[in-house]
Chain A
Amino acid sequence: MTDNDTTIVASPVRTAKDFASDQEPKWCPGCGDHAILQQLKNVMPELDVAPENVVFISGIGCSSRLPYYMATYGVHGIHGRALPMATGLKVSRPELSVWVATGDGDALSIGGNHFIHTLRRNPDLNVVLFNNEIYGLTKGQYSPTSKIGLRTITSPAGVIDQPFNTAALTIGSGGSFFARAFDRDGKYLRSVLKRAALHKGTSLVEIYQNCPIFNNSAFEAFATPDSKADNTVYLEQGKPLVFGKEKNKGIRLDGFTPVVVDLDKEGLSTSDLWVHNEADINKASILARFADNHAQSEEILPRPFGIFYAEERVTYEDALTAQIRDAQKNGCATLEELLKGESSYVIK
Chain B
Amino acid sequence: MTDTKKTTRQVNITSKTSVSVLFAGDSGDGMQLTGTQFANTVAVRGSELNTFPNFPSEIRAPAGTIAGVSGFQLQFSSKPVYTPGARFDVMVAMNSAALKANLKDLHRGGIIIAGTEGFDEKNLKLAGYAEGANPLEDGTLDNYIVFPVPVLQFTREALKESGLSSKEVDRCKNMFVLGLLYWLYTLPLEGTIETLQTKFEKNIQLAEANIKAMKAGYFFGDETELFANLGRFDIAPQKQHGTYRRVTGNEACAIALTAASKKAGLDLFLGSYPITPATEILQTLAKKKKYGVKTFQAEDEIAGIVSSIGAAYGGALAATNTSGPGLALKTEALGLAVILEVPLVIINVQRGGPSTGLPTKPEQSDLLMAMYGRHGEAPMPVIAARSPVDCFYTTYEAARIAVEHMTPVICLSDGYLALSSEPWLVESPDNLAAITPRFQPARKPEDPPYLPYKRDDRLVRSWAIPGTKGLEHRIGGLEKQNETGNVSHDPENHELMTKLRAEKIARIADTIPLQSIDNGPEKGDLLVLGWGSSYGAIKTAVEQALEEGYSVAHTHLRYIHPFPKNLEAILGNYKKVLIPEMNSGQLIHLIRDAFLIAPVGYSKVQGVPFNEMEILAKITDLIKEI
- Our verdict on whether A and B bind, yes or no, reads yes
A residues adjacent to B (C-beta < 8 A): 21, 23, 50-58, 60, 67-68, 70-78, 81, 83-93, 95-96, 113-114, 117, 320, 323-324, 326-328, 332-336, 338-341, 343-348
Give the top 9 A-B pairs by smallest Cβ distance, nearest first.
A76-B476, A88-B310, A88-B307, A327-B289, A84-B303, A89-B310, A85-B310, A117-B299, A74-B474
| B145 CB to nearest A CB, Å | 32
The stretch from B55-63, B112-120, B424-432 touching chain A is B424-432
| B219 CB to nearest A CB, Å | 26
Q: A333–B259 Cα gap in the complex (Å)?
A: 11
- Which of B258, B313, B471 meets A75, CB within 8 Å? B313
- Which of A21, A52, A336 meets B466, CB within 8 Å? A52
User: What 0/1 readout, one digit per residue, does chain B (435-479) give for beta carbons within 8 Å of chain A?
Assistant: 000000000000000000000000000000111111111111110
- Secondary structure of the B side of the interface? mixed
CB <8 Å contact, A338 and B299: no
Q: A23–B40 Cα gap in the complex (Å)?
A: 63
CB <8 Å contact, A52 and B469: yes
CB <8 Å contact, B300 and A341: no
The stretch from B75-83, B314-322, B349-357, B508-516 touching chain A is B314-322
Complex contacts, A84 vs chain B, CB 8 Å:
271, 298-299, 302-304, 306-307, 310
CB <8 Å contact, B467 and A91: no
Return 18 A-B CB contacts under 8 Å, by A number: A53-B466, A74-B473, A75-B313, A75-B340, A75-B474, A77-B477, A81-B306, A84-B299, A85-B309, A92-B318, A93-B316, A333-B290, A333-B291, A338-B255, A343-B40, A344-B245, A347-B239, A348-B241
Q: B332 within 8 Å of A by Cβ?
A: yes
Q: B486 within 8 Å of A by Cβ?
A: yes
CB <8 Å contact, B336 and A52: no
For chain B, give the interface size range: 35 or more
Look across to chain A and name the residue whose beta carbon is closest to the beta carbon of B258: A338
- Which of B44, B311, B336, B427 meets A88, CB within 8 Å? B311
Q: A347–B43 Cα gap in the complex (Å)?
A: 9
CB <8 Å contact, B487 and A68: yes
In the complex, how many residue pairs between chain A and chain B have their CB atoms under 8 Å apart? 201
Q: A67–B487 Cα gap in the complex (Å)?
A: 12
Complex contacts, B258 vs chain A, CB 8 Å:
338
Complex contacts, B476 vs chain A, CB 8 Å:
58, 67-68, 74-77
CB <8 Å contact, A345 and B43: yes
- Which of A50, A70, A91, A347 meets B240, CB within 8 Å? A347
CB <8 Å contact, A73 and B262: no
| B385 CB to nearest A CB, Å | 17
Q: A73–B315 Cα gap in the complex (Å)?
A: 13
CB <8 Å contact, B428 and A96: no
- Which of A54, A81, A326 meets B303, CB within 8 Å? A81
- Which of B242, B271, B469, B474 meets A347, CB within 8 Å? B242
Complex contacts, B294 vs chain A, CB 8 Å:
91-92, 320, 324
CB <8 Å contact, A346 and B242: yes
Q: B308 within 8 Å of A by Cβ?
A: yes
| A96 CB to nearest B CB, Å | 5
Look across to chain A and name the residue whose beta carbon is closest to the beta carbon of B300: A113
Q: A115–B134 Cα gap in the complex (Å)?
A: 59
Given known A-B contacts A96-B467, A344-B426, A87 and B307 have beta carbons under 8 A apart: yes
Given known A-B contacts A88-B296, A91-B307, A117-B303, A343 and B313 have beta carbons under 8 A apart: no
Q: B243 within 8 Å of A by Cβ?
A: yes
| A317 CB to nearest B CB, Å | 9
Complex contacts, A113 vs chain B, CB 8 Å:
299-300, 303
Q: B536 within 8 Å of A by Cβ?
A: no
Q: A50–B487 Cα gap in the complex (Å)?
A: 25
| B468 CB to nearest A CB, Å | 6
Given known A-B contacts A96-B314, A345-B243, A78 and B426 have beta carbons under 8 A apart: no
Q: A58–B313 Cα gap in the complex (Å)?
A: 13
| A117 CB to nearest B CB, Å | 4
Q: A78–B472 Cα gap in the complex (Å)?
A: 20
Complex contacts, B239 vs chain A, CB 8 Å:
347
- Which of B241, B310, B470, B486 meets A87, CB within 8 Å? B310
Complex contacts, A338 vs chain B, CB 8 Å:
255, 258-259, 262, 288, 291
CB <8 Å contact, B243 and A52: no
Complex contacts, A77 vs chain B, CB 8 Å:
306, 309, 336, 476-477
Q: A337–B308 Cα gap in the complex (Å)?
A: 26
Look across to chain A and name the residue whose beta carbon is closest to the beta carbon of B45: A347
CB <8 Å contact, B311 and A339: no
Q: B292 within 8 Å of A by Cβ?
A: yes
Within B269-314, which residues are at the interface with A (CB < 8 Å)?
269, 271, 288-292, 294, 296, 298-300, 302-304, 306-311, 313-314
CB <8 Å contact, A95 and B467: yes
CB <8 Å contact, B316 and A92: yes
Q: A195–B22 Cα gap in the complex (Å)?
A: 64
| B421 CB to nearest A CB, Å | 11
Complex contacts, B267 vs chain A, CB 8 Å:
92
| B323 CB to nearest A CB, Å | 19
CB <8 Å contact, B43 and A339: no
CB <8 Å contact, A71 and B472: yes
CB <8 Å contact, B426 and A93: no
Complex contacts, B241 vs chain A, CB 8 Å:
347-348
Complex contacts, A72 vs chain B, CB 8 Å:
472
Q: A100–B52 Cα gap in the complex (Å)?
A: 46
Within B405-428, which residues are at the interface with A (CB < 8 Å)?
426-428
Complex contacts, B296 vs chain A, CB 8 Å:
87-88, 91
Complex contacts, A75 vs chain B, CB 8 Å:
310, 313, 340, 474-476
Q: A340–B300 Cα gap in the complex (Å)?
A: 33
| B92 CB to nearest A CB, Å | 24
- Which of B291, B302, B314 meets A81, CB within 8 Å? B302
| B502 CB to nearest A CB, Å | 21
Given known A-B contacts A77-B336, A78-B477, A88-B318, A96 and B466 have beta carbons under 8 A apart: yes
Complex contacts, A320 vs chain B, CB 8 Å:
294
Complex contacts, A328 vs chain B, CB 8 Å:
289-290, 292
CB <8 Å contact, A68 and B44: no
Q: Contacts A76-B474, A88-B269, A345-B245 known; list 14 others, CB within 8 Å.
A: A50-B469, A55-B314, A57-B310, A75-B474, A76-B476, A76-B478, A77-B309, A78-B306, A88-B306, A92-B315, A93-B466, A327-B289, A335-B429, A339-B426
| B471 CB to nearest A CB, Å | 7
Look across to chain A and name the residue whose beta carbon is closest to the beta carbon of B298: A84
Q: B237 within 8 Å of A by Cβ?
A: yes
| A150 CB to nearest B CB, Å | 29
Q: B324 within 8 Å of A by Cβ?
A: no
Q: A189–B476 Cα gap in the complex (Å)?
A: 27
Q: B574 within 8 Å of A by Cβ?
A: no
Q: B263 within 8 Å of A by Cβ?
A: yes
| B258 CB to nearest A CB, Å | 6
Q: A44–B302 Cα gap in the complex (Å)?
A: 31
Q: A191–B465 Cα gap in the complex (Å)?
A: 30
Complex contacts, A87 vs chain B, CB 8 Å:
296, 303, 307, 310
Q: A86–B333 Cα gap in the complex (Å)?
A: 14
| B74 CB to nearest A CB, Å | 17
Q: B185 within 8 Å of A by Cβ?
A: no
CB <8 Å contact, A339 and B290: no
Q: A51–B442 Cα gap in the complex (Å)?
A: 13
CB <8 Å contact, B259 and A73: no
CB <8 Å contact, A78 and B332: yes
Q: B221 within 8 Å of A by Cβ?
A: no
CB <8 Å contact, A339 and B303: no
Look across to chain A and name the residue whose beta carbon is closest to the beta carbon of B240: A347
| A60 CB to nearest B CB, Å | 8
CB <8 Å contact, B306 and A52: no
Q: B244 within 8 Å of A by Cβ?
A: yes
Complex contacts, A334 vs chain B, CB 8 Å:
262
Q: A83–B299 Cα gap in the complex (Å)?
A: 11
Look across to chain A and name the residue whose beta carbon is closest to the beta carbon of B320: A88
| B309 CB to nearest A CB, Å | 6
Look across to chain B and name the residue whose beta carbon is closest to the beta carbon of A341: B245
